[in-house]
Amino acid sequence: MEASSSTSHDPALFHAPLLHHPRRRSSRPLKGFAVIFGSVVFLLSLVILIVNQSPEPLASNPSSVTEAGSYSMAAQPRGIAEGVSAKSNPSLFDKVGFNWTNAMFYWQRTAYHFQPQKNWMNDPDGPLYHKGWYHLFYQYNPDSAIWGNITWGHAVSKDLIHWFYLPLAMVPDQWYDINGCWTGSATLLPDGRIVMLYTGSTNESVQVQNLAYPANLSDPLLLQWLKYPGNPVVVPPTGIEDNEFRDPTTAWLGPDGSWRITVGTRFNTTIGTALVFQTTNFSDYQLLDGVLHAVPGTGMWECVDFYPVAINGSVGLDTTALGPGIKHVLKASLDDTKVDHYAIGTYDMITDKWTPDNPEEDVGIGLKVDYGRYYASKTFFDQSKQRRILYGWVNETDTEADDLEKGWASIQTIPRSVLYDNKTGTHLLQWPVEEVESLRLNATVFKDVVVEAGSVVPLDIGTATQLDILAEFEIETLVSNSTEDEVSDCGDGAVDRNTYGPFGVLVIADDSLSELTPIYFRPLNISDGSLETYFCADETRSSKAPNVTKRVYGGKVPVLDDENYNMRVLVDHSVVESFGEGGRTVITSRVYPTEAIYGAARLFLFNNASRVNVKATLKIWEMNSAFIRPFPFEETLFQEMVAST
């Protein structure tokens, strides 16, 4: 639903001591008052709970909880022993808990991001478009809100925003995947067939690659999947560790008529590597000589993605696209750091080797797909709209005990379109798919708002829990010959002042600014007299709860001479997705406020620069909720809809 009208405001200005701290390298929010505030929040939340009639938390695995307020944990993060990424936050285990209420837990559930109806979710799997429906498969634990018993969940959508849960697509029931049906990718063949390759953890915890395919291609919902009787189709090659060989990519067709896939691994424990396998029938594979690419010091590569982008194009490309005017993106999820890195380069289709354009920005040592809480991303080519779509997993940053209490864990980002940034020639551009704009309701416009140095401006939009924000900033005056000591990167967060910043918006904040999450630009003077800009998100004061991860995230973002500073921010309860400069730098944040929830959530502008004012123009939409629910098989209308596709 589009906005029916827009209004403009000229908000009043006030100064905020919270953003006026002197620069300190150890600046962090105080947590000593959490217990005091906890009792107050508890009483207030009881009132909210009565008003909102929040449902009880969904049932979780009773065997994981020993008694109220206590739980047992492994000595290492869950998943490591099974040979897969860490799926928990061990650094938080010894921290004091927080007296969460049902109302707080209920507020944390998102309104328009895909997440499971209940229980645990991680990596996106095999996204594809088939007979009018977008399909998303995902790593899922049907039994609990913590990682384990990994199966493939399945959901479909007509528009990538409103989703229907479907029955499980694949379960671990064979010797070659009995310890988990792990991450995989779909390939759409020219004759209309669909093949799905996925990693299985065998009865001996060996990671192998398996083949599956739909039982009925005429079914638009692809409800039934068959596993190839001859699985596994690829086993770890000689010299590769049995538990470090996973996550096959979408296949692409080479000039010799055979298909190729890549699988992530490592050599000598430290060299991240993408192997290439060749096949003509998807059941028999040959390991090609050499590797697609490898980078020393980056560790295990998982969830590798490899796809083409057009240098001068405005549409996405099928994974098989080759030829002039095309670059190739190589992306890897680094198991050691839990960060997705990418690089742009050139693929030699004869030697099956990929070379980065800039070796100093190679995979794992340069650009990140997302600079925040984000991992295991995967793209697919949407043939219906000629675009490449990116999904990413966003995990929780609270404790496993909290997840068990609320009965669910993890979300997927809003699907993003991906294009080559031909203005810089060095970056990708990620942008929320256009369909999310269908959720926009009433819009509010703020024009040319002057935000003085060291001040905060409230934006009168009412409740600010579900928003789509477009904001543009202009520095009013440049200060010549600034000698102020300026520390590179995002510093210690929004309190870390310099000549030109930070400036931006405060989301999920309460009126008193006791809880807030700044999304901001931080321009810095560099030696040649120009500005180098960082795009950042500061979670350090996002919650009074002590047992959640709260970090400062961000990275460098190119701002060209003919550009102002611009950002887009999607706010959806406990997740904030921020896109700097058209999506050159992207940050996903998880926040768990205790007071800035429901009607108390507010939005502000801020400028903590020490010497310059900024002028801001914004357009802000309240966002509707998406319909995400089980597929209504019993409803005739939907049966007819499926039949018509």
Nearest to 149 by CA among 179, 182, 183, 118: 179
CA distance 450 to 453: 10
Residue 63 neighbours by CB under 8 Å, 6+ apart: none
Q: What is the C-alpha to C-alpha distance for residues 207 and 211, in angstroms, rounded to an integer? A: 13
Phi and psi (nearest 5°) for 16?
-125, 105
Active site (annotated) includes residue 402: no
Q: Which helix (H) or strand (E) holds 510?
A: none
| Long-range contacts at 345-350 (CB < 8 A, ≥ 24 apart) | 347/308, 347/322, 349/254, 349/255, 349/322, 350/255
Q: Are 123 and 137 in contact (CB under 8 A)?
A: no
In this structure, the strands spanning 428-432 and 575-580 are unpaired
- Give me the DSSP letters along 584-622: TEEEEEE---SSS-GGG-EEEEEE--SS--EEEEEEEEE
Place of tokens 């409230």: 458
Q: How far is CA 83 from the centre of its chain?
A: 22
Among candidate residues 184, 432, 447, 178, the one with its CA nearest the CA of residue 303: 184
For residue 109 the two structure tokens come to 């559930």
Q: Residues 189, 258: contact at Cβ < 8 Å?
A: no
| Residues with Cβ within 8 Å of residue 469, at least 6 apart in sequence | 505, 507, 567, 568, 569, 570, 571, 603, 618, 619, 620, 621
Active-site pick, 123, 305, 370, 492: 123
SS3 (DSSP) at 224: coil
Closest by alpha carbon to 121, among 392, 303, 317?
392
Q: Which residues of 164-190 are buried (b: 16+ CB within 10 A; e: fewer)?
A: bbbeebbbbebebbbbbbbbbbbbbee
- Pairing status of strand 194-201 against strand 428-432: unpaired
Q: Which residues pair with 604 in a beta bridge?
A: 458, 506
Q: Are 208 and 176 in contact (CB under 8 A)?
A: yes
Distance of CA 136 to the CA centre of its chain: 15
**Strand positions, DSSP E, 413-511:** 416-420, 428-432, 440-451, 455-458, 466-475, 503-509
CB-based contacts of 637, cutoff 8 Å, min separation 6: none
Q: How far apart are CA 508 and CA 592, in angstroms?
A: 9
Residues belonging to the active site: 123
